[in-house]
Structure formats: C-alpha cells, structure tokens
Structure 1
Amino acid sequence: MSQTKRVTAAVILIGDEVLSGRTADKNLQQIALFLAPLGISVVESRTIPDEQDVIVDTVNTLRVQADYVFTTGGIGPTHDDITADSIAAAFGVPIDVRDDALAIIEEWYARTQTPLTESRKRMARIPDGASLIENPVTGAPGFQMENVFTLAGVPKIARGMLEDIAHRLEGGAVTLSRTIKGEGLREGDVAGFLGALQQAHPHVSIGSYPYFLEQVGGKLTRGTQLVVRSTDEAELNSVISEIAKEVSRLGVEPVTSAL
C-alpha cells in the first residue's frame, strides 16, 4: 500500500457502565496509540449503550466511513453482553456457539480449574464467517467480521487482543508529531500567527494547548504547548521552525521536542 495513503479507524466503546461514568474508558487511548505506528489514524470514536439497535446502526455507519472499526465491550458471559449478537445482526448472519471457540474456552477453564458454566459458554458464540482474535489474558476470543474487530471491554484484555490484529491491517503514512513548549507564552499571543500558518500548510495539523502548573506556595506557572502533526517530515520540520522563530520573537524561549 502506498505510504502516502491515509488509513483511518473508528472506535466504538460499548457499555452502559462507560456512559454512566462508573467505568473509566482506557481503550480509546490504547487503540489509538497501538494503531499510530502502523500508519492508521483514529478519526472518530463513539460511546454507546448496550442496545442492539444502536450497536447495529453505529457499526453499519462507521464500517463504511472508516477503513477499520474497533468495538470494545459486551462479549462477556452475562445477559447484557449483546455485542456478538449485534455484530451478527449488523452483517445479517446467524450466530451460535462455534466449536473452535468453545475448544479454546474449554481448554482455558480446564487449565485454570474453573467450572465451565453455560453462561461462560456464551463467550463461544461467534457470528458466521468471523475470524477469531486470540485472547492471551483470559482465553475467550474476540472476532473479526470483514473490517470490524470486536474486542473485550476490559482494557488489559483488549490490549492483549490487539497483538493478534496488527498482521491483519494494512497501514498508510505514519503521522509524525513534534511539540514546542513556551513557558510564559499566552495562547492569544500566537493565535493570529498560527491561523495564518495553518492556512499556508493545510495538510499539517497545528494544535495550541495552554497549561497552568501550581507551584509551591500557590503560585501558577503558565504557558502554551504547540503540537504539530504531519505525515510529511520535511513540512513538519519547516512548520516547527517557523513557530520556534515566532515564539522567540515574542521573547519566549521555545523548547522543541525531537521526532
């Protein structure tokens, strides 16, 4: 695949517990960080409830908009784990306990001397035509349907499953990032300059992020971090150089990160 092609991904975080705030999501960050070196950019994320109609609609919308879709949550043994059924419905295929998935679960539970209940066997229900995704943490597999990858919701398990996904993905141009930090720099001081610079470099992402750090005695140290992202290293470095010159002109020492 051409290294200049942009390859995109969407992440669907499924679970009432995430929406309620009872569970803090970590999966979006770790999926994005996993995909970035492969040249795949996460361009959208949605957090949705455990409702089949919503899951089906979201999956079917995003799988035609992004090159890859990752879902997390809802493939456990309890009654509200409906993601596998929802993925089957989204693709219009049957779902049932599959022998290869059940064999993996049976072997895992035998090894850990844990009873294999009927509810746990639900984790072997796989949509027809799906490829299994290995789960090195708890055994119960995830699965892939075309460009949709269905992972567990527990971050440690989801991260383990990602290791069986990388070889299935075709990446594109890797997005590079550099940062300039200016202590004492106010965001408004560079707003106009950054706007003009962004217009001059439409294929480069330029972000401005003010920060405030409380020191001993309650004194605040403020400043701004300017983050530049691009798939073109030469243009990235050129934009960084222009920003550094402007920050210096304003009387602030620019602290520039390496690639």
Structure 2
Amino acid sequence: MGDIITAGVLVIGDEILSGRTKDKNIGFIADYLTNIGIDLKEVRIVADDEADIVAALNALRARYTYVFTTGGIGPTHDDITADSVAKAFGVGIDHRPEVVERFKERYKKPGELNEARLRMTRIPDGAELIQSATILAPGFRIGNVIVMAGVPSIMQAMMDIVAPTLRAGERMLSESVRGDCREGDIGTPLRAIAEAHPDTTIGSHPFLDENGKSNTRLVVRSRDQAKLTAAMDAVRAMLVGLKAAQ
C-alpha cells in the first residue's frame, strides 16, 4: 500500500457565496483527484476577503498534501487571490516579466494593456507558473498550493497541466449496488458490516426511484480489491436477507 495523498480545495469569490455564480469546479476537481489517486478531504468557500483567504489557506496547506484554489486571479479590484497567497507564504509579489511579455503580444492596441490587465501578471515570488500556449493569464504553484482560475474551462486546462507533477497515491476503488430498500431498513445491519470491514468505507445514498419511492444506493470503497470484494459480498448478502424477511 502506497502513501495516502490528500488534498483540500479553497473556492474563492463573493459571487459563489451570493449564489450569483453556481460552482462547477468542485465536482470536476473531486473526480479528477480520485482518478489519479488523491483523496479530496475538505472543501471551503470564502469571500473575497484577504484575511479570510489567508486564514483558510494556511489551515488547509498545513493539513493536506495539496491545496487547490479556484477564483480571484482576474483583472478586477476584488481579484485578490495572488496577493493573499503571497501574504500567506510571507513572500513578495510583483509583475512576472515573462507574463508581461505574453500580454504585450496579446494586447497591442494603444491602451489595451491597462493597469487592470496587468494585475493578472502579478505572481508571488518563487511561484512556478501554470500556463500553456492557450492560457494567457497563468495560474501558479507555490509550495503545496496550486492556484487556478475560476472559469471552469481554464481551470480544467490548468489541472491537466499540473496533474503530471503531483504525487499520486493508491487509487480508491469502489463498487455500488441498488438496495431496493429505505435507509432506515438497513441502518443497523449496515453498521455491523462497516464495523466488520474497517479498511473499507461504506456509504448509503437515498434517492427517489423511477416509481417515486424511497430507495437507497450503497457504495463500498477501499484501496484493497480483496477487502472491497469481501465487504461488498456482505452488503449483497444483507440485502438478500432483508428481501427474504419482507
């Protein structure tokens, strides 16, 4: 069994908290990390407030192998993620010359490369850029913190760039089964199965089925295929016994 690699996500933006913008990044990041063997353990959403960003970032980066941030690296006054990250790490921040040159190539008309756009070229000292030919304004990585855009398409491109550089752990395996029962019907026997299989995680997820009735899907997760199979066999046997009793 390899090391368990963990991650936290910090979503930054007043627009997320107000509901004006619906987050589309958390689910993508969660799926992505699971597929490369990194366990997403926590997600926080904070406003565009420097003190809140710094506090959340310092808490997460001390707790997890990696921290991924989204949002707040654009050209407006409330895009303060880069400054907040610099403050969290206690480093300076300035216009990165190679990024400025990219912007000069892109914005050639008089007045186009204004102060607002130049804000996006400010990178904390010591940070490594996350950019490609198709990404104008880069994200960056400093320490165990990966700073990415909030725009989903750009964020996804940045994930593809940074993923090969990350440490990967053992992938979490999972299997699921439809219970055709209610959660309350299986709570007690499911607890017994979970206690008998401590190296697995067993979850129950209620939903309304095609007949509009309460139903439950059971999901078993483990990094060990044999242990996953044993727990899943126990879950299926429990469901068979429940149906027979009914």
State if a TM-score over 0.5 links the two structures.
yes
Query: Residues 181-222 of structure 1: CA distance to partner in whole angstroms, max 9, x if unpaired?
Result: 123x1112211111011111222110011111365xxxx233
- The answer to whether the aligner puts 1:210 opposite 2:235 as a matched pair is no
Equivalent residue pairs, number: 244
Assess, with a 3 A threshold, how the Cα gap between structure 1 residues 213 and 113 changes in structure 2: closer, same or farther.
Answer: farther
User: Does structure 2 conserve the Cα–Cα contact (< 8 Å) formed by 1:136 and 1:161?
Assistant: no
Number of the residue aligned with 2:25: 27
Number of the residue aligned with 2:192: 196
* Letter aligned with residue 149 of structure 1: I
- The answer to whether the aligner puts 1:221 opposite 2:219 as a matched pair is no
User: Does structure 1 conserve the Cα–Cα contact (< 8 Å) formed by 2:173 and 2:225?
Assistant: yes
User: Does structure 1 conserve the Cα–Cα contact (< 8 Å) formed by 2:48 and 2:72?
Assistant: yes
Comparing 129-138 with 87-96, which one deviates more in the overlay? 129-138
How high is the TM-score relative to the length of structure 2?
0.93
Number of the residue aligned with 2:160: 163
Counterpart Cα distance in 2 of 1:109 and 1:27: 29
User: Does structure 1 conserve the Cα–Cα contact (< 8 Å) formed by 2:199 and 2:227?
Assistant: no
**Match of residue 242, structure 2, among 230, 244, 250:** 250
> How high is the sequence identity, in percent, across the aligned residues?
46
* Letter aligned with residue 197 of structure 1: I
Shift of 1:108: 3.9
What SS class does the counterpart of residue 150 from structure 1 fall into?
A: strand
Number of the residue aligned with 2:100: 102
Shift of 1:155: 1.2
* Letter aligned with residue 213 of structure 2: T
Number of the residue aligned with 2:117: 120
User: Does structure 2 conserve the Cα–Cα contact (< 8 Å) formed by 1:143 and 1:149?
Assistant: yes
* Letter aligned with residue 89 of structure 1: K
Query: Residues 60-95 of structure 1: CA distance to partner in whole angstroms, max 9, x if unpaired?
Result: 111110000001100000000000000000011110
Measured on the aligned residues, the alpha-carbon RMSD in Å equals 1.9
Unaligned runs of 5+ in 2: none
Shift of 1:135: 5.1
Counterpart Cα distance in 2 of 1:193 and 1:6: 29
Shift of 1:38: 1.4
User: Does structure 2 conserve the Cα–Cα contact (< 8 Å) formed by 1:70 and 1:149?
Assistant: yes
Number of the residue aligned with 1:145: 142
Assess, with a 3 A threshold, how the Cα gap between structure 1 residues 168 and 114 changes in structure 2: closer, same or farther.
Answer: farther
**Match of residue 181, structure 1, among 161, 178, 183:** 178
Query: Residues 93-151 of structure 1: CA distance to partner in whole angstroms, max 9, x if unpaired?
Result: 110111012223333445x9993222111100000000000156541000001100000
What SS class does the counterpart of residue 77 from structure 1 fall into?
A: coil
Comparing 131-140 with 121-130, which one deviates more in the overlay? 131-140
Unaligned runs of 5+ in 1: 253-259
What SS class does the counterpart of residue 161 from structure 2 fall into?
A: coil
Counterpart Cα distance in 2 of 1:34 and 1:114: 40
Counterpart Cα distance in 1 of 2:213 and 2:111: 54
How high is the TM-score relative to the length of structure 1?
0.89
Matches within 5 A, 1:3-18: 3-18=1-16
Assess, with a 3 A threshold, how the Cα gap between structure 1 residues 43 and 113 changes in structure 2: closer, same or farther.
Answer: farther
What SS class does the counterpart of residue 164 from structure 1 fall into?
A: helix
